[in-house]
A and B are shown apart, each in its own frame.
Chain A
Amino acid sequence: MKGRRTIALVAVAVALAGASSLHANTKLMRMSDDANQWVMPTGNYANHRYSELKQITSKNAKDLKVAWTFSTGVLRGHEGNPLVVGNMMYVHTPFPNIVYALDLDKDAGIVWEYKPQQDPATIPVMCCDTVNRGVAYADGKIFLYQADTTLVALDAKTGKKVWSAKNGDIAKGQTGTAAPMVVKDKVYVGISGGEFGVRGHLTAYNTKTGKRVWRGYSMGPDSDTLIDPKKTTHLGEPVGKDSGTNTWKGDQWKIGGGTTWGWFSYDPDLNLVYYGTGNPSTWNPVQRPGDNRWSMTIFARDADTGMAKWVYQMTPHDEWDYDGINEMILADIPVKGQTRKVLVHFDRNGFAYTMDRVNGELLVAEKFDDVVNWATDIDMKTGRPNMVNKYRTEYNGEDVLSKDICPAALGTKDQQPAAFSPRTRLFYVPTNHVCMNYEPFKVSYTVGQPYVGANLDMFPAPTRPGGTDRGPHMGRFIAWDADKGKEVWAIDEKFSVWSGALATAGDVVFYGTLEGYLKAVDAKSGEELFKFKTPSGIIGNVMTYMHKGKQHVAVYSGIGGWAGIGMAAGLTGDRDGLGAVGGYRHLQNYTRLGGGLTVFTL
């Protein structure tokens, strides 16, 4: 009797929890529809980074002024963006991952501050600066995913810790950099450490209790990857048994990479979560024969169970470090004359993919930078790239320098997210225009130690495809038609555009530059409308909100990240007597380290 009653009570509790979390989910979605707020790191579940606000227009953007600024007190790369929930703004920082709650009604005064105590031994196991891409909000809580992989739920009103969970172990080289996403009663987090042999996974925690609900690995046996050999498909075909181990030699999959440090998106109708996985470990392809599934892969997983519905591997057996983690933008747009539910993804490998997000069918795959040369095109039947041997680091071999590969390892685009405007049906994409020389060499694996196995140097892309000269710019900001697979307009930038874009109903698109400019351009033509130089280089994502009847636009500045990590000293860039040409080293002529938020209004 007693036992039965307990079960009954548990059942009621579960039902209640389910009901309230469903409510929370609906509420969060409704909040993300309210353009006055910015409640998710990505703007909405579809990752549009689009706002219906239209007080700032292509006519008046020239009149933008700085409304206020805020210093975070941390001098490192500031990726991501703040959230605005009601009258509160939540600002995050790179390591040590401070969170500030600012009251917009009270001159953006600090209501609370949360500063976690983290082992400083975390710093040396972060590959590319100690960045953090933002906090998530749901159900009265702020979710912070710390560098040391602690996931913390904070009371959004007080900053008091509600619960915390440990998602990984820095002693194994596992770190946290990505922004969490909340769907219903679950908060999702990934894992970083592809340069430390970390095996990637997406993990769901219960938002109320912090209990781990499921974890889907990028590689490993089906029980680890949550792949159903019969039901999970790759381009329409079932993947078969143990697809996460049978393209690996021996136990290499256990240190196989495929980390999950990018953005997540969610389709509530299909109940699917989308994200991409990173490079296979090591960077020396010779040491890991096979396709290395499911590194470099787009995953569509059931939001409740984590089961993979479909997968698509973009770069089988990577030879260049073209992580597949960039955001998946979900849009319903006409493709070849028929409106489709698509997923649009601008990959590090230089190809922009338009896919049917229901079944994972590949619809369009085109280069979004002409200089991309490692592959000529994507075979639309097999989904595999047609590679060019000259630029293949494995083909050329260990201890051999493969030259003039485009794009560089940091990709034609890295994590800096693109925006989509339903008004223009265009995607606004911050890109890198950088090429590289790459030399793989043998490495040994030690737990918690770097596991890289390649050196590379990066330099500006040539002036024309196939060239070996160096062009005058390392970045471009482009408008992309995902139906035709074509660029509509492009703006050349001196340095990589490492800032996330924002599109608005005022037909103004915003982005930041590594020199520190916030720029506003016309959504239709790309014409520059406004620019302002903030205190440090911008690698954060632009966001917007409405406060007291005025539209505000906010962006972090604070140079860093992969593009900026060498700023103090300058990345290698010289070649064959050309002398000090271009390259990120020239950034030091424009900006210095910083950490702050600049907020604009008319």
Chain B
Amino acid sequence: MLLTAAFAACLAAPGAFAAEGEKPYKVNADGKVNWPTFSGYRRYHSECHVCHGPGGLGSSFAPNLLESIKRLSYEQYLEVVVNGRVNVDAATQNVMPGFATNLNVMCFVDDIYTYLVARADGAIGMDRPKHTGKPPEAAENEKACFGDL
């Protein structure tokens, strides 16, 4: 039940990034980013970076996501995150687990996407970005998506 509800909440607005030319991230003149970009930064670094490296740059375990994110549509990105990907042959042993049941990923899957696009576009660097603050909606969404923690 919880998962279904979370899923629905997370995927409430897929395709929000589909609009041509529209960037999901926002970087102000003073370098501060909007909350989703920052949220994506920290969720990425607690869930993804062990394999995909700091800042999405990749490692010998997993590809550079700043390249991948340019090739993948939002829907394709979502598909890989949810289901994982297996690429095992004589030369490579890459296994990405599916994150469908991981709320730390799924509740913030759009934020992580936002962060990676911002990184891929060169709009933000490797380091922890400063942000414009956590809006009340973000806190509420987090609570709704996580359920009773």
Q: Contact check, B55 vs A124: say whether CB atoms are below 8 A apart.
A: no
Beta-carbon contact of B125 and A574 below 8 Å:
yes
Interface residue? B8 (CB, 8 A): no
Q: Is the CB of A457 within 8 A of B46?
A: no
B103 with A455: CB separation less than 8 A: no
A35: chain B residues at CB < 8 Å are none
B69 to chain A, nearest CB (A): 16
| Complex Cα spacing A66 to B77, Å | 50
Is A450 part of the contact surface with B, judged by Cβ < 8 Å? yes
A442 to B60, CA, bound (A): 30
Cβ-closest chain A residue relative to B100: A446
Number of residues of chain A lying within 8 A (CB) of chain B: 42
Give the complex CA separation of A333 and B46 in angstroms: 43
Q: How far apart are the CA atoms of A439 and B134 in the complex, in Å?
A: 14
Q: Contact partner of B104 among A127, A444, A571, CB < 8 A? A: A444
Chain A 549-573: CB-based contact to B (< 8 A → 1; otherwise 0)? 0000000000000000110111111
Q: Which of B10-18, B22-30, B88-96 contacts A (4 or more CB under 8 A)?
A: B88-96
Which residues of A, 405-448, contact B by the 8 Å Cβ criterion? 437, 439, 441-444, 446, 448
Which residue in B50, B88, B127 is a CB contact (below 8 Å) of A575? B127
Q: Please name the residue on chain B nearest to A449 by beta carbon.
A: B102
Known contacts A120-B94, A571-B54; is-contact A565 B59 (Cβ 8 Å): yes
B101 part of interface (Cβ distance < 8 Å): yes
Q: How far is the CB of B101 from chain A (nearest CB, A)?
A: 5
Chain A residues positioned under 8 Å from B96 (CB to CB): 124
- CB-CB under 8 A from B93, the residues of chain A are 120, 123
Chain A residues near B72: list those with CB within 8 A.
none
Partner of A572 from the list B99, B104, B126 (CB cut-off 8 Å) is B126
Contacts of B125 in A (CB 8 A): 574
Is A535 interfacial (CB-CB < 8 Å)?
A: no
Complex alpha-carbon distance, A119 and B45, angstroms: 24
Distance in angstroms between the alpha carbons of A110 and B61 in the assembled complex = 28
List chain B residues, Cβ under 8 A from A76: 60
Is B42 in the interface zone, CB < 8 Å from A? yes
Q: Which of A130, A437, A566 is close to B53, meaning CB atoms less than 8 Å apart?
A: A566
Which residues of B have CB within 8 Å of A120?
Answer: 88, 93-95
Contact B46 A123 (CB under 8 A): no
A5 to B45, CA, bound (A): 63
| B149/A449 in contact, CB under 8 A | no
**Which parts of B29-82 form the interface with A (CB within 8 Å)?**
41-42, 45-47, 50-51, 53-55, 57-61
- Bound CA–CA A566/B126 (angstroms): 12
Interface size on B, residues (CB 8 A): 37
Of A287, A452, A457, which is in contact with the most chain B CB atoms at under 10 Å from its CB? A452
Residues of B near A121 (CB, < 8 A) are 95, 97
Please report the C-alpha to C-alpha distance between residue A593 and residue B101 in the assembled complex, in whole angstroms: 34
The answer for the CA separation of A125 and B147 in the assembled complex, in Å, is: 25
Closest to B50 in A: A127
Q: How far is the CA of A565 from the CA of B142 in the complex (A)?
A: 30
443-475 of chain A: CB within 8 A of chain B: 443-444, 446, 448-455, 457
Residues of B within 8 A of A105 (CB): none
Instruction: From known contacts A444-B103, A452-B46, infer whether A75 and B95 are also in contact, taking CB-CB under 8 Å.
Output: no
B126 lies within 8 A of A443 (CB): no
Q: Are A455 and B128 in contact (CB under 8 A)?
A: yes
Flag whether A332 is at the interface (Cβ < 8 A).
no
Given A120-B95, A444-B103, A449-B99, do A568 and B88 touch, yes or no (CB 8 Å)? no
A399 at the A/B interface (Cβ < 8 Å)?
yes
Instruction: Assess the A124–B127 pair: CB atoms within 8 A.
Output: no
A67-82, CB < 8 A from B:
75-76
Residue of B nearest to A123 (CB): B61
Q: Are A444 and B46 in contact (CB under 8 A)?
A: no
Given A121-B95, A123-B61, A455-B42: A444 and B146 interface contact (C-beta under 8 Å): yes
- Interface pairs (28), CB distance under 8 Å: A121-B95, A123-B93, A123-B95, A124-B61, A124-B97, A401-B128, A439-B42, A444-B102, A444-B147, A449-B102, A450-B50, A450-B102, A452-B46, A452-B104, A455-B41, A455-B42, A455-B46, A565-B50, A568-B53, A568-B59, A569-B58, A572-B54, A572-B55, A572-B126, A573-B127, A574-B125, A574-B126, A593-B60
Q: Which 6 pairs show the lowest CB-CB distances between chains A and B?
A: A569-B57, A452-B46, A120-B93, A444-B103, A449-B102, A455-B42
Interface residues of B (CB under 8 A from A): 41-42, 45-47, 50-51, 53-55, 57-61, 88, 93-97, 99, 101-105, 107, 125-128, 134, 142, 146-147, 149
Residues of A within 8 A of B (CB): 75-76, 119-121, 123-128, 130, 287, 399, 401, 437, 439, 441-444, 446, 448-455, 457, 565-566, 568-575, 593
